[in-house]
Each structure stands twice: as C-alpha cells, then as structure tokens.
Structure 1
C-alpha cells in the first residue's frame, strides 16, 4: 500500500517548490528535510506506541466497553477509508474520479490517520511504484542483504525505520496534478489540524457519553492514539511483509505478494500483487469473491453518482499477466 507521508504537510512541501529546488531532480535530501522527517517520525510514528500503552494502563481507571469499541472501530474504519480510497486509490493512482466535496472529505479522513500530508504521501507512493524493490524505493524490505539477518534488517527498515530519514521525492515531478488542484491543496495545508481533530473528536464523544473526564480521556486514547497505532501497523505490514511473504498471482517486476487472509483487516489493500500488476484498477481484489472493502466504498459512491470513470482491467489484460497461464504455456512448449 502505502506508507507514512513522513515529512511534510503541504505547507512544508511548498518549501521544496518555492526554494528554487531543481525540478529535474526526482528526490531531494538536505538537513532541513531530515529535521522535519525526524519530527514527524517522533510525533506520529513513535508517540502512538506510548498512546497504545497509555490506553492499556488507563483500563485501571476506566474499563474498555462498548463506547470505546465503537470509537476505536469507527475511527479506524473512517481514517482507513481515507487512506485506501482517498490517498491511495483516488489521489495516487487516479483509479476513479470523485466529486470535489467527496475528494475533500477523503483528504480530511486520510489526514486524520497521521500518515503524512496528502501531497507527500502521494509523491512517496508514486516513487515506490517507479522503483519498487530496486534502488530508490524508500521502503523495500529486499535491499538489505540475504540470510536471516539481512531479511530481518529489511523487514525492520521497510516496516518502520525508513521513516526516520530518507530522500524526499520532488513533488513537482511526482505530484504536479495535485499541486494544480487549488481547492484540494487548501484542505491538505491543514494536515496538522485534521490530525488533531481526529484525536479531539473521539475524546469529546467519550466525554459527552460518560459526562466525565475519564470518559473523555478513554475516548481520546482508544479512538485517537490507539487507533492511529493500530492503523499504522496494518499499513506498514503491507510495505514490509507483503513484499516478502504471500502468494503471487500476476506477473509484476517487483516482489509484491497477496495476503488474502488479511483482506478485511486491510480494507482490501492486502491484495498487493494484484495492485502492483494493475495499479490503475480501483479494485484490488479484482474478483467479486475476493474481499475488498475499499472497492465496495468506491462502488457505493459510483451508485450514488459521486464517483465516475472506474477503470477496471479487462479480462484479456488479466489473462495475459496470469502467472499460472505463463507456467502452463512454458510446460506445453517443453
């Protein structure tokens, strides 16, 4: 799937555009960018660890109940949809078109996930597809050497550690379409405010339901910080484990794999090999019986007239890339 947008909300991305950066460069690296990366890493990647621990510790003060479960699940689902349907399938790969207000809502929900500003996220993911599992891929698990130690080092890098410091993809090169979308950029500039809203909202709901500060803190912890922690690790596992383990149904130039058993948990993102084989498809499952909640949301938007131009791969395209077909042809030729 995707990754942590790591460096910038869009106002920081403007630094790259307006500071005279060489637009011919595909990636940029300097001390200013690395400071921003470390700050984002500590705030949105490390702090949720402590938030999850605090949520568990707070059970001694306020028990986990139906309200906490609903806040955790509801906020996880909404922000997860913001990432998979908005950040990934709409903004990065343009697999469908959405009404402007729908796109803005998806950008807000994706921002609440705390995985980076929309433009940065898109640029990083487009670079990932361009260089996947090769030099230049920001989070491949397959470039750290062989053997157990190399594979473990690669998994740790791709799952989490790469976000501390990395080359920043030039958004002028990788995301010019988004930079031209002024209404969407105005929404994206408020990235940090949307993250805070995603923390405050469940806290307010918890406080109002229980009419106590304990309810407010419990809502903040479970619907906010713990939710960010859980969603992050689901997303990061696609970067790491599904580029090393799983099944491969279609030919693709990188090591992407499918992990169908995790389809519901990842909202369809675990059909990762399918996605790399057909990145322009809004459906990652491709077949109706392969669970893909992200695509179900897109289909509902289409039925409501809020999404158009869904670009599903044709049967011929899919057959041409099937690995079992190629293997059968090779065996017949032999």
Structure 2
C-alpha cells in the first residue's frame, strides 16, 4: 500500500511498513488484555515505569539532555539516562535525537519535519511511523543530525539494541508479579507512553495557548503537559529549545524540571540553561 507524500507533488510515494504495523498492532492488542489481568500493584508498576521511562528517560535523558544539551551531567549518568530512555521503546538515542533536531530545524515543514503537523493530526501522531521515509528511519541518513552521538560506540550500540533491553525488563516483571505485571509493565505501559509522547507532536501543535508568537503552531496544552511530565508546554519549548525548564509560569507544572533541580541540588547537573529572566519562575 502506498500514499502520496502530502505537499510534495511528484515525489516518491510513501510505502506502508507492515513490520511496523504488526509490531505496534501486537503491542496494542496485548495491552487490551489489561482489564483481565488487573491488580492495583500491576497498575502501580505501569504508572511508575511510565514516569521512569517517560519523564526520566525520554523527557530528561533523550530530550533535554541529549537533544538540546540543556544541562550537563557526568558521563556515567548520561549513559544511564540514555538506557532508561531506550527502555521506553521509542527508538535508539541517535534516531530519536536526530529526528527531534530535524523537527526543530524545520518545524511543520511537510517534507523536512519527520512528524509535521501540516500533514494532519494522525500523520504527526503516528502515521509517520507506519509510512517511514528513508531519510528519517535509515541510520546511514539520520546519523548526520546527531554526529556527536554517532561518534560514541556506546550510543551506536544502544541505537541498534534498544529493543532486546525489553527482555530483562519482562523477565524481572514476571518474576515479581507474573503475567499481570508483564501486561501492565511492558505492553500497556508502552502503548500509553507512546501515545502520550505522540500527543506532543500532534495535539500540542493544534490546541492550547501561545505565550510566544512564533512562526510555527506550537501550543501550550495543559493536559498534554500532565501526561508528559512537562513536555506539553510546547510553545515555551519551541521559543527556547535549549532551556532545561519547560514550564515558565507558576501554573505550568513541569515534573521533569523537578528531577533536573534535584540533580542540580545533588551536584550532578551543571550548566543548566534557564529561561530568559522575564519568563522564569521558581
């Protein structure tokens, strides 16, 4: 199955990846088993891992640290945060960082932004994964946009081996709580975390308020910020991408920022980039 590249008349049509459809479809199908495997402890495991892999791994590790270099941490901690990010199953660090840097460099461009909202809600939410373009998904192409990570053998290894890391996670969860923990801690957690992250690409470019009048349509969306531990203050972020703090006003709760402040207090985070003085709040 193919579709035409929206906004790119005459360019090669996009081809549906049945491998990606099968992979994500299987996880969604297994996540549906959650009501039959319910326990409060399993739900607690899912919520904890959603926070750990989402806020600490993706938001802090992949996004604010590796992509934008909004802070500096010791190399051992940087590697640890990258591993936690890889456990979220949103791709390896080089893939994720390269794609997000392209998103900022060419925000909403229908051809250069991997998940451009100009192609519509469902494209920016998930169809960009089901119709993968070589320049965004093949390592020989996207590595150019995260060259410092690609030079590091550890990040090259992690970029190619992030999926097998789910095996020890699944084994540990099974040992702790059986299949209930596996369904909630691996499959339901992955599905919920995928969609909450994808809402930043889709919903946060369509709904919400704007504190900064930018050329793109990024928005501050309160419910997306709650689901993503602060990433939903997306208009703030697009105005100052290299700032470690996403919430600028007192009501803009940013749980990932709390984690960064904790690291800073412990002396583990240095050179933390702050918002312009007029926009920063404690």
With normalisation by structure 2, the TM-score equals 0.85
Corresponding residue for residue 247 of structure 1: 209
Partner residue, 1:201: 172
Mapped contact 1:199–1:225 kept (Cα < 8 A): no
Question: 1:87 and 2:62 equivalent?
Answer: yes
Aligned match of 1:287: 249
CA distance in structure 1 between the aligned counterparts of 2:199 and 2:19, rounded to whole angstroms? 22
| Aligned mates of 1:204, 1:272 — CA distance in 2 | 39
Match runs of 1:1-334 below 5 Å: 38-43=18-23, 45-56=24-35, 58-59=36-37, 64-80=38-54, 81-135=56-110, 136-143=112-119, 154-167=120-133, 168-169=135-136, 170-206=141-177, 216-315=178-277, 318=279
Shift of 1:189: 3.8
Contact 2:95 2:143 in 1 (8 A): no
- Distance in 2 of aligned mates of 1:256 and 1:244: 7
- Paired position in structure 1 for 2:4: none
How far the C-alpha of 1:235 sits from its partner, in A, is: 0.7
How far is the alpha carbon of 1:38 from its aligned partner?
4.7
Query: How many Å apart are 1:219 and its aligned residue?
Result: 0.6
Partner of 1:226, secondary structure, is: helix
In the TM superposition, what whole-angstrom CA distance separates every residue of 1:251-284 from its partner, at most 9, and x where no partner exists?
Answer: 2221101112342321001001111111000100
| Structure 1 unaligned residues grouped into runs of 5+ | 1-28, 144-153, 207-215, 320-334
Tell me how far apart the structure 1 counterparts of residues 254 and 234 of structure 2 sit (CA, whole Å): 11
Give the number of aligned pairs: 263
CA displacement, residues 103-150 of structure 1 (integer Å, 9 cap, x when unaligned):
11211111111111111111111111111111321212223xxxxxxx
CA RMSD after TM alignment: 2.4
TM-score (norm 1): 0.73
Whichever of the two has the greater Rg, that structure is 1
Sort the Cα spacing of 1:77 and 1:243 in 2 relative to 1 into closer, same or farther, 3 A. same
